[in-house]
Structure 1
């Protein structure tokens, strides 16, 4: 419902958004799926002369947008809203931002440590001493590492 309204209002134009929103809301206010569907079609027919593209969008979307009406009335407010999924997505984003920050911090520390190891030859194993362990004459150290 929420995303449909956003899409529809983009086609309604600035001056017609409130009217279109109010018209469509009358369909959402109905008690039964049959009444909602009848009101939906009546709204689409009212809009059709002025904004035919919007009426076609409503015709195509009726079944999907009003699908929540087939559930018991107690469940409808939870089904037509995107709040639960948006809350979940927000939690995931918030937590992954923290993890991302930690990953970047650890990466920076490892990069810094790598730079220190490359510069402080006496403290750690050097590439020159490790290369002596290989019997393969084709293995050679890159010029940058020496």
Structure 2
């Protein structure tokens, strides 16, 4: 669902940002979390989705990424790159 042509067309024609599917994003993230860390990582990321507004969601997203960065840097980097698309409103 991240086809670059579709993303460009949505921006040009509709004038909206593209929102990445949370389910597909979580599948990508959990592949980096390891079997034993999946529940914790999933719960951490879910806290960003539970925020009341976009700014609070972005701030929580960054806090979660920063907490994960020392132990799982690839996962944090994935969160950094995906933030605008996953948190699009």
The residue number in structure 1 matching 2:24 is 3
The residue number in structure 1 matching 2:53 is 32
The residue number in structure 2 matching 1:57 is 78
Q: Distance in 1 between matches of 2:50 and 2:87?
A: 11
The residue number in structure 1 matching 2:13 is none
1:44 shift after superposition: 0.0
Runs of 4+ residues deviating >6 angstroms: none
TM-score (norm 1): 0.46
The residue number in structure 1 matching 2:41 is 20
Q: Distance in 1 between matches of 2:49 and 2:35?
A: 22
Q: What CA RMSD, in Å, does the superposition of the two structures yield over aligned residues? A: 0.4
Could you tell me which runs of 5 or more consecutive residues in structure 1 were left unpaired when the two chains were aligned: 71-146
1:29-72 deviations in Å (ceiling 9; x for gaps):
001000000000000000000000000000000000011xx2xx
TM-score (norm 2): 0.75
* More relative contact order, 1 or 2 (CA 8 Å, 6+ apart): 2
The residue number in structure 2 matching 1:48 is 69
1:66-98 deviations in Å (ceiling 9; x for gaps):
11xx2xxxxxxxxxxxxxxxxxxxxxxxxxxxx
Q: Secondary structure at the match of 1:31?
A: coil
Q: Secondary structure at the match of 1:15?
A: helix
